[in-house]
Amino acid sequence: MTSKKLLPAARDAEYWYRTYRPFVFSVAYRMLGAVSDAEDAVHDLFADIRPEELANVRNPKAYLAKWTINRCLNVLRSARRKREVYIGEWLPEPLLERFDGPDLAAERKETLSYAYLVMLERLTPAQRAVFLLREAFEYDYEAIAELLGKSEANCRKLFSRAKKSMNAVPSSAGAQNVRKPLLEKFVSAFQQYDVERLLELLAEDATMVTDGGGNVHAAIRPIIGRKRVLALLSSPKAYTLLRKWDFSITEINKETNVAFSQEGVVKGVLCFELSGEQNRIRNLYLILNPDKLKAALSEGEAH
């Protein structure tokens, strides 16, 4: 009786959408680094699913992961050409809390951190797919090889190369306890042009990357070194609007970060990566491109 009741649902595309949409979105977002592109991938995938194909699927997540990865690989290949002519630095689109849920919470949250997504951009599309399937979703090499149509040996090589590139991302374990007070001190020092306090908060090898996409004034190249970052942050002429906008310490990409808003509309997001000791700020990622903030929550939704 139970199997007969479940069979119609197993063939129902709407049931699959309700049940597996968060999983598909989490795969697509990590692959593409953009909320809007990930949502498009989710929509296209479920729109193309044929009910008659679903009855024989034994592992829904594996089935969906395969098609999601393949779609994302195609998007990444075309996106690479677009990013070559992108004005300034291209940063991933921040993921605000309202896109999260219990299904996403079950995944490894450190693989959603903003610094993690920035590092993923250094990988080739194939390396990114193998690395995410292995690290974020804990597939074994046999399953990864089957999903991607590659040999296990090839997948192991791709993972090894990707792992070396990703080693620079520090673990976020335990960092949440110190992030909020550290970021509160930073925002206060930034608003007051307090050079001494900013100096105490920034790591020696601090770097700041901004993304305006040609739509908003932003540094075209990364600002490297504590002195240069400090000079930019303490300048009365630089980012004056950030000091005028309201700010919220809120959860972005599963970590405490900062959102700047004006009249309830998010105008900028500042994500932080702490040093290995987790007592200083090593990297700052400022997203100002309005195209990447369309999906951002309003000020009233922040906390």
Residue 91 to residue 94: CA distance in whole angstroms: 9
Question: How much is the pTM?
Answer: 0.86
Q: Are 42 and 21 in contact (CB under 8 A)?
A: yes
Measure the CA angle with vertex 112, ends 246 and 100; round to 5°. Answer: 70
Q: Which CATH architecture has domain 176-301?
A: Roll (3.10)
Give the start-to-end residue ranges of the domains of the chain.
Answer: 1-85, 176-301
Q: Which two tokens stand for residue 221?
A: 């190249």
Sequence-distant (6+) residues with CB within 8 A of 137 are: 27, 65, 107
pLDDT score recorded for residue 82: 75
Q: Do domains 1-85 and 176-301 have the same CATH topology?
A: no
pLDDT score recorded for residue 108: 62
Helix/strand/coil (H/E/C) assignment for every residue in the chain: CHHHHHHHHHCCHHHHHHHHHHHHHHHHHHHHCCHHHHHHHHHHHHHHCCHHHHCCCCCHHHHHHHHHHHHHHHHHHHHHHHHHCCCCCCCCCCCEHHHCCHHHHCCCHHHHCHHHHHHHCCCCHHHHHHHHHHHCCCCCHHHHHHHHCCCHHHHHHHHHHHHHHHCCCCCCCCCHHHHHHHHHHHHHHHHCCCHHHHHHHEEEEEEEEEECCCCCCCCCCCEECHHHHHHHHCCCCCCHHHHHCEEEEEEECCEEEEEEEECCEEEEEEEEEECCCCCCEEEEEEECCHHHCCCCCCHHHCC
pLDDT tens for the chain, 303 residues long, are: 334 444 445 557 788 888 899 999 999 999 999 998 999 999 999 888 877 777 788 888 888 999 999 999 989 888 777 777 889 999 999 998 655 544 554 456 678 899 999 999 989 999 999 999 999 888 999 999 999 999 999 999 999 999 998 876 655 555 667 899 999 999 999 999 999 999 999 999 999 999 999 888 888 899 999 999 999 999 888 888 899 999 999 999 989 999 999 998 999 999 999 987 778 999 999 999 999 998 654 333 433
pLDDT score recorded for residue 99: 53
1-85: which CATH topology?
A: Rna Polymerase Sigma Factor; Chain: A (1.10.1740)
In the chain, the amino acid numbered 55 is A
Residue 232 to residue 225: CA distance in whole angstroms: 11
pLDDT score recorded for residue 261: 93
Q: Which two tokens stand for residue 1?
A: 């009786």
Residue 252 to residue 236: CA distance in whole angstroms: 27
Q: Count CA atoms within 13 Å of residue 134 on its CB side.
A: 20
Distance of CA 61 to the CA centre of its chain: 21
